[in-house]
């Protein structure tokens, strides 16, 4: 099953809403985890949340996908939804599996761990388009974002803290990017 999404990015600036179609974006980011129901949808939601508060948001399209197809079409894990809602973030995406067309469609593919990275490389993704999520984080002690799927609430809270730190670092990187941040 293929889940298609029409991407329309809505940015709230006071009394104005800017509606940006995917075709108008100048930079596209795809977050990758294993099943696309825990880590990558939360990273997607966090970045979209922070982008709404910045002019940069008018230029960036954000999506997420999984390396496996077990959950295609499903909403995020209820525990990811819960941790997001506790921080004022709504997760609305549906799980999908990454495919080779994503390697051309996205400028940056951000993996939650080394297994995700290896899967993308094995699929033929150009290595220069791949980064690990924690490479953007200021949160010490973690080289990757652990998968909380088989654990309890503490794992989802840790996932949120790690992703929030990394998303803020990613925003700094985007804002200093010569083709993006200067617009």
* Virtual torsion, Cα 99, 63, 31, 13, nearest 10 deg: 160
Q: Are the C-beta atoms of 9 and 92 separated by less than 8 Å?
A: no
Residues catalogued as catalytic: 33, 39, 147
**CA nearest neighbour of 38 among 157, 138, 123, 142:** 157
Are 84 and 45 in contact by the 8 Å Cβ rule? The answer is yes
Q: Which residues contact 131 (CB under 8 A, 6 or more apart)?
A: 108, 109, 110, 111
């Amino acid at each position: 099953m293929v889940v298609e999404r029409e991407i329309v990015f809505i940015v709230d600036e006071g009394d104005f809403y800017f509606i940006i179609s995917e075709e108008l974006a100048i930079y596209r980011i795809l977050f990758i985890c294993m099943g696309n129901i825990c880590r990558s949808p939360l990273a997607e939601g966090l970045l979209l949340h922070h982008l709404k508060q910045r002019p940069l948001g008018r230029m960036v399209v954000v999506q997420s996908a999984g390396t496996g197809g077990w959950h295609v079409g499903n909403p995020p894990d209820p525990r990811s939804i819960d941790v997001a809602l506790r921080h004022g973030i709504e997760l609305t995406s549906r799980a999908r599996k990454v495919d080779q067309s994503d390697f051309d469609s996205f400028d940056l593919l951000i993996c939650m761990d080394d297994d995700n990275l290896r899967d993308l490389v094995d699929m033929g993704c150009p290595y220069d388009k791949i980064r690990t999520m924690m490479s953007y984080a200021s949160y010490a002690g973690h080289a990757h974002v652990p998968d909380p799927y088989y654990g309890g609430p503490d794992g989802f809270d840790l996932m949120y803290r790690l992703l929030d730190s990394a998303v803020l670092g990613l925003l700094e990187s985007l804002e200093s990017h010569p083709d993006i941040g200067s617009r």
